[in-house]
Amino acid sequence: MKTNINLGIISVYEFMQKFPTEDSARLHLEARRWASGRFCPACASVRTVEVKGHKPMPYRCQDCRAHFSVRTGTVLAESKVGLQKWLMAIYMLHTSRKGVSSIQMAKQLGVTQKTAWFLDHRIREAMRQRGGIFSGTIEVDETFIGGKEKNKHADRKLHLGNV
């Protein structure tokens, strides 16, 4: 799957084609977050494995044994809203010129207005920061809890840049 999809320029039709399922949305977000390889959000180790039948936390770190998903340590973890809906909300906010009301967003996503309000605020906040939806993941480094230096993802070894 192409990973450099610019949500701001594709049509609704293209959006629906690219993200027809929750899995396709997850794969897109994973490719964005872990562009140069998956690594543990707790200790930055690259020695991670996929755990079958462990859907909410499909990966496990072989160094610190933490279970994680693409949501872990990001704004996506703060809500149970599906990743497809997160992407749709991001898409709506990126493409609408006049802005989107939470009533409108709630209707189109099939979520409560409270959830729409939450998504709206979180995404707007993320859009203002470098690193977009995955900004803020740097904080994970502050709570660094182990892992061998040689197994660490290159981004974490060298600097604390945005993922």
Q: Residue numbers of the site for Zn ion (CB under 5 A)?
A: 40, 42-43, 45, 61, 63-64, 66
Residue closer to Zn ion by CB (options 42, 90) is: 42
Treating both helix axes as pointing N-terminal to C-terminal, what angle do 83-95 and 102-109 enclose, rounded to 10 degrees? 140
The nearest distance, CB 25 to Zn ion, in angstroms, is 25
Please state the closest distance from residue 71 (CB atom) to Zn ion, in A. Answer: 16
Of residues 95 and 141, the one with the C-beta less far from Zn ion: 141
* Nearer CB in complex with Zn ion: 61/81: 61
> Would you tell me the crossing angle of helices 113-128 and 83-95 to the nearest 10 degrees?
60
Q: Find the shortest distance in angstroms from Cβ 149 to Zn ion.
A: 13
Contact 60, 49 (CB under 8 A): yes
Under 8 Å CB-to-CB from 69, ≥6 apart: which residues? 56, 57, 58, 59
By C-beta, is 43 or 87 nearer to Zn ion?
43
User: Minimal CA–CA distance to 51: which of 39, 64, 61?
Assistant: 61
**Closest CB 131 distance from Zn ion, rounded Å:** 21
Residue among 10 and 64 whose Cβ is closer to Zn ion: 64
| Angstrom distance (rounded) from CA 24 to CA 26 | 5
For the bound state, the minimum distance from the C-beta of residue 58 to Zn ion, rounded and expressed in Å, comes to 15
Burial profile 102-127: b = 16 or more Cβ within 10 angstroms, e = fewer = beebbeebebeeebbbbbbebbeebe
